[in-house]
Amino acid sequence: MSKNIIEYTSDLYPKRLKLIQNPPVKLYVEGNVENLKQIGIAVIGSRTNTQYGEKMCKRFVKELVEYNIIIISGLANGIDSIAHKTCLKNSGKTVAVLPSGLENIYPEKNKELAKEIIKNGGTIISEYESNTKADSKKFLERNRIIAGIGIGTLVVEGGYRSGTSVTAKYTLENKKAVFCIPSSLENPKGIITNELIKKGAKLVTTTKDILENYKEITFCKRKTESKDILFDIPLELRKIYININDTPQDVNEISRKTGTTIEETIYKLTILQLNDKILELPGQRFIRNKQ
Amino acid sequence: MLSKIKSIALNGLNGSCIEIQTDISNGIPEFEIVGLPDTSLKEAKKRIKAAINNSKIEFPNKKILINLAPANIRKEGSCFDLAIAIGILIAMGKIPKINIEKLETTIFIGELSLDGKINRTNGILPICIKAKEIGIKTVILPRENAREASIISELDIKPATNIEEVIKYLNQEKEIPKFINNQYIFNEKYNMDFSEVKGQENVKRALEIVAAGGHNCIMIGAPGSGKTMLAKRLVTILPQLTINEAMEITKIYSISGELNEDGLIKNRPFRMPHHAIPISTMIGGGKNPKPGEISLAHLGVLFLDELTEFNRNTLEALREPIENKEIFINRLSGNYRFPCNFMFVSSMNPCPCGYYGDEERECKCSPQEIKRYLNKISGPLLDRIDIHIEVKRLKVENINNKTNIETSKQIRERVNRARKIQQERYQKYGINSNSELTTRIIEKFCKLDKKSNDLLQTAFKKMKLTVRAYEKILKVSRTIADLELKENIEFKHIAEAIQYRNLDKYIK
């Protein structure tokens, strides 16, 4: 994949971006250019997210990817990275909009992630010369592109007066929909989402709420092969596996439910875990891994 | 006239024999003690003078010189008061019928109060052990210290209440009977049991492994999940103390002045210092060094609650003692060696707010905060911890669950069996348990078959374990195999051991 420069006049220039108030004159693009034209949703949020934010971001991104929707974000720490990573994990395509030149990836920590994105058919774009450094002004300018490329913006969480609120504002200026995940009133990172909902943004509890908003577009779900889930699980491990479901359970609960001794449960869980049949959550709790 | 009396001076845990020489001559009245005495010993002059006067004997108005030989060893403490007073009285000729031969094999220990009463002192047990070694037969000591000294049953322990009683005994007017502790039975008694802990089966299992292999461990869990309760009960499943081990512990407690009435310490110590503890209290120190918490936990458990709250320097200071199992303290007054073969058990919260991974309460910390919190524990210290256990809060509905809860006694039987296997296996290598295995011995005794090896490799790749986890997993799986009385490490042992590396998964 080579690096391209797309002029405003080019056919490749994303149409939705042309419609915003001050579209960039040219775009520096690395990776798959096609992604910019596809249907995409911007997923944005705080750089210092909470556990809740991470959980919700993963849940929504995973489901959006299932409908072949491109995930657009800013490669920053926190929610942005989580959105990109979850998208890659579920083999979706993602677009990262940089606040700096393509040679000068910001934050530096996410260089590896940027490579991963390109490797998996994603795209990295920027409106700046390749060696431009990031600064606070560019963050805000970048946000208008994030809002510009997508057909809507999903706000996961954000603090008061943050970059997140700016992106949401741009989205509304472009007459696109803003979707907000509700949050606890006690959550300091939930201020923006709740505030936006108050002002009329769409409150979403499932991905369907987002899709409903676009009656003119038909979303198709990716096909998944159905197979007997117990097929490749060794006989001796089945008893434990059957008792693990989507509610996280700890070792003691599983042991009690299956009537196996604690040492046996522990070792069988390890094997199931190493075979990617179950997942371990923080606090040594286990759920089924839905691949 | 000149008199000579024997006594024993303590230097750390070791005693050395000293001779108290008293010379009374005519001249300008004077009372002086030479031979490197410390301040409390110099003050003995005033106490001795008053004690003798108040025992209805007139203190001589002469030139008195006391020499504590050999003169190059520092002497400290108030335990020489009685010996010096008796030396003066003999030199004065107040004890005419004294048996000089018998005096050769007698030592005197005790602090005097002004009315002639003999007060208790610290360090009686190490003194008595040394006394037995150098061939002393009779020990005259404060009545309150008699129980402690009676552990050395070969010695003729003669407890005295005041100086007059000692004079009468030496003058053969009144015999002091030998002190024999009839109630002395060597059996431990803990007032707690593992069966009191409801649920937490996985933690109990992990602690059983910890006890069986002598591994160091850390418990991670939300506030109120029962970490401290579980740790306190760890001593109840450790093997029972042997009489030699009990003496070793009692020696340390004796010089720290922490002994209770009972004399011998029969339970394995459990020390739980507060997190504001300074270094010198933790590892031992002071002008005249005293054993620290690590030595007081010798052969027992040192439990550090809220590990992340401890001062970083205090924690780093633990690194060498954990490896060497003894600590050297160098001071102007000499070098002191204290043993500190303890099991290191600690606990911490999974994140600053304490509820990361909890089902009922939402954690309010950001991933960055959690990372910063966990990084408070240095890598080298973490290297010395074999087992990480996740402790969950018990759900209310399980509190009344009474399905066969094992007692400490049942668990201990298995632990004892596993320990015995280890001792036999490592006889030639000078170690006792799996936790002490070095890389070379691991290669010899922790061989894996192909299937187990593959499992370990996959685990490393998938769970992103750090390299330091490798040997730990081998050691722990060796202990699990020993608990099952298996000669070779099997597939399932490795699989279980992998689950005890939770912190490696957090800290990446």
Query: Distance between CA B302 and CA B260 in Å, rounded?
Result: 20
Q: Which of A46, A58, A252, A256 to mutate: most B Cβ within 10 Å?
A: A252
Helix (H) or strand (E) holding B372: helix B367-374
C-alpha distances (whole Å) from B288 to each of A272, B257, B280, B329, B335 are 58, 14, 12, 10, 10
Query: Does residue B322 share a domain with residue B355?
Result: yes
Q: Is residue B72 within 8 angstroms of chain A, CB to CB?
A: no
Per DSSP, what are the bridge partners of residue A47? none
Mutate: best of B392, B405, B462, B490, partner A, most A CBs <10 A: B392
Sequential pLDDT tens for chain B (508 residues) = 789 999 999 888 888 999 999 999 999 999 999 998 888 888 999 999 999 999 989 999 999 999 998 988 888 888 899 999 999 999 999 998 988 889 999 999 999 999 999 998 988 999 999 999 999 999 999 998 888 888 888 899 999 999 999 999 999 999 998 888 766 566 777 889 988 888 888 999 999 999 999 999 999 988 888 899 999 999 999 998 888 888 899 999 988 888 876 678 888 999 999 999 999 999 998 877 889 999 999 999 999 999 999 998 999 999 999 988 899 988 877 788 899 999 999 999 988 988 888 877 888 888 888 888 888 888 888 888 999 998 988 877 767 766 668 899 999 999 999 999 999 999 888 888 998 888 888 888 888 889 899 888 888 888 777 777 888 899 999 999 999 999 899 989 999 998 898 777 665 4
- In this prediction, residue A226 has a pLDDT band, given cuts at 50, 70 and 90, of very low
- The phi, psi pair for A271, rounded to 5°, reads -65, -45
Nearest to B475 by CA among B229, B214, B284: B214
Please indicate whether, in this complex, the C-beta atoms of B498 and A284 are within 8 angstroms of each other.
Answer: no
Q: Which of A263, A270, A283 sits opposite B390 (nearest CB)?
A: A283
Instruction: Tell me, yes or no, whether B274 and B347 share the same domain.
Output: yes
**pLDDT computed for residue B198 by the predictor:** 83
- B465 within domain boundaries: no
**Are B366 and A50 in contact (CB < 8 Å)?**
yes
CB A58 within 8 A of CB A32: no
B301 and B245 belong to one structural domain: yes
Indicate which CATH number applies to the domain containing B306.
Answer: 3.40.50.300
Pairwise CB contact (< 8 Å): A262 & B205: yes
Q: B194-239: per-residue pLDDT in tens?
A: 888 888 889 999 999 999 999 999 999 888 888 999 999 999 999 9
- Residue at A167: amino acid letter: T
Query: How near does any CA of chain B get to the CA of A282, in Å?
Result: 5
Owner of token pair 């009468």: B168
* DSSP per-residue letters across B170-182: HTTSSPPPPP--T
Residue B181 placed within a domain = no
CA–CA separation, B13 and B126 (whole Å) = 6
**B359 touching A (Cβ < 8 Å):** yes
Specify burial of residue A169 (Cβ count, 10 A radius: 0-12, 13-18, 19+).
middle
Nearest chain A residue to B220, by CA: A283
Q: What is the least distance, in Å, from the CA of A244 to any CA of chain B?
A: 16
Residues of A with CB below 8 A from B204's CB?
A: 262
Domain check: are B166 and B201 in the same one? no
Please tell me if residue B357 touches chain A, with a CB cutoff of 8 Å.
yes
Chain A positions touching B502 (Cβ under 8 A) are 284
Q: Of B383, B416, B449, which residue is a domain's last?
A: B416
Q: What span, in angstroms and rounded, lies between the C-alpha atoms of A163 and A146?
A: 12
B246 and B211 in a common domain:
yes
Q: Which residue segment(s) compose the domain that B19 sits in?
A: 2-170
Say what the alpha-carbon torsion angle B445, B449, B454, B456 is, to the nearest 10 degrees.
Answer: -30
Torsion of CA A24, A30, A31, A35, to 10 degrees: -10
Contacts of A266 (CB under 8 A, 6+ apart): A251, B202, B205, B495, B496, B499
Helical ranges in B43-104 per DSSP H = 44-53, 81-92, 100-104
Final residue belonging to a domain, choices B416, B450, B473:
B416
Quick one: B97 exposed, middle or buried, by C-beta within 10 A (0-12, 13-18, 19+)? exposed
Give the separation between CA B503 and CA B350, rounded to whole angstroms: 9
**For chain A, which domains are there?**
3-212 (3.40.50.450), 235-288 (1.10.10.10)
Measured from the Cβ of residue A18, the count of other Cβ atoms closer than 10 Å reads 11
- How many C-beta atoms lie closer than 10 Å to residue B244's C-beta? 8
- Structure-token pair, residue B451: 């299937």
Predicted confidence (pLDDT) at residue A282 exceeds the cutoff of 80: no
- Helix boundaries (H) for B33-72: 39-42, 44-53
Smallest CA–CA distance, residue B397 to chain A, in Å, is 12
